[in-house]
Amino acid sequence: MKISDKGLAFIAGHEGFVSTAYRDPVGVLTIGYGFTMRSRVFAAWWRTRHGRALRMGDAISRADADVILKRLVDEEYGAAVTARFGALPQHHFDAACSVAYNLGPRALTWRWARALSAGDPARAAAILSANYNTARGRKLPGLVRRRKEEAHLLRTGVFPGLDRAEAPRRPADALMDEESAMRMLRALGYRQADPMAATRAFQRDSPPLAVDGIFGPKTRAAADRRLQATVRSRHPASPAIRPSSLTWMLAVGLALLGAVRAAWRRWRGPSR
């Protein structure tokens, strides 16, 4: 089975897109929709394109990230879902891919997955909705929302936030959640524990953004521009030679030329 367009947009919306490489909270270099060199698909694509491993400050386009995301989900996570459950209704498959992408393939052996494998999607959804939403012992609102939306998808086949529109959104158009917004802000040095506090601090430093603590499209665009500027400042073009340097070089050259001419005259002796 393959991930559907809506399933892909659902995953992308929760992951969020970051164009510039940064280190996640445990120090792993990350880019795009949470891509790392630990992914076979991403690592192969990146090395083919750049001839080396991912480095801090590297950049990726959203178009490339969209293509990689589909390949990565299908080949690494979709394959694991199919191996675990066999054929599934498309919305069950998409929900399971989202869980595996966020929590790792090992999540396909947990209680929610055992209920789904036993043919009880309602129980699987109930378990999923109430669990697997903490990081380092702290319940994160972004993960709470993601688990509830995955559970809703399992129960109803409806993609929260996507099925209100006539056409599915592309991954590029999906909204960023709290977790992905915090990744961008941490990469820019805003490390407050409270997401709204970090967002407000960034907005205060980025006029004319409204200081409302909401990481919406304008704030995301400003953060992305700041990340791009950070990359450029770390890799500046070779500076041009300053006029003062040119003057000094010209003076040295003329002095050397005068010394050579004087030595030539002494060697030839007085002219006749």
Question: pLDDT at residue 229 above 80?
Answer: no
**Segment 179-213, tens digit of pLDDT:** 778 888 888 889 888 888 888 899 888 877 888 88
Mean pLDDT across 227-249:
50
What confidence tier does 231 reach under pLDDT thresholds 50, 70, 90? Answer: low
Crossing angle for the helix pair 5-15 and 178-187, to the nearest 10 degrees: 50
Structural domain boundaries of the chain?
1-244
What is the pLDDT, as a whole number, of residue 186?
Answer: 87
Question: pLDDT at residue 80 above 60?
Answer: yes
Mean pLDDT across 42-62:
96
The DSSP 8-state label assigned to residue 23 in this structure reads E
Tell me which residue of 59, 5, 52 sits closest to 35, measured CA to CA.
59
What is the pLDDT, as a whole number, of residue 269?
Answer: 56
What is the DSSP code string of 32-97? ETTB-TTSHHHHHHHHHHHSS---TT-B--HHHHHHHHHHHIIIIIIHHHHHHH-S--HHHHHHHH
What is the pLDDT, as a whole number, of residue 248?
Answer: 42
* Pairwise CA distance, residues 212 & 197, whole Å: 10
Question: pLDDT at residue 56 above 60?
Answer: yes
- Mean pLDDT over each residue of the chain, to the nearest integer: 82
pTM of the model: 0.66
* Token representation of residue 235: 């890799």
* Pairwise CA distance, residues 223 & 243, whole Å: 37
* Pairwise CA distance, residues 133 & 186, whole Å: 20
250 compared with 15, residue with greater pLDDT: 15
* Pairwise CA distance, residues 22 & 55, whole Å: 9
Q: Into which CATH architecture does domain 1-244 fall?
A: Orthogonal Bundle (1.10)
255 compared with 222, residue with greater pLDDT: 222
9, 32, 63, 174 from 60: Cα distances, Å: 18, 7, 8, 17
**Segment 7-42, tens digit of pLDDT:** 999 999 998 888 999 887 678 899 999 999 999 999
Contact 90, 61 (CB under 8 A): no
CA angle 182, 188, 193 (to 5 degrees): 40
Q: Which of 103-112, 166-175, 216-225, 242-251 has the highest mean pLDDT?
A: 103-112
Mean pLDDT across 168-174:
42
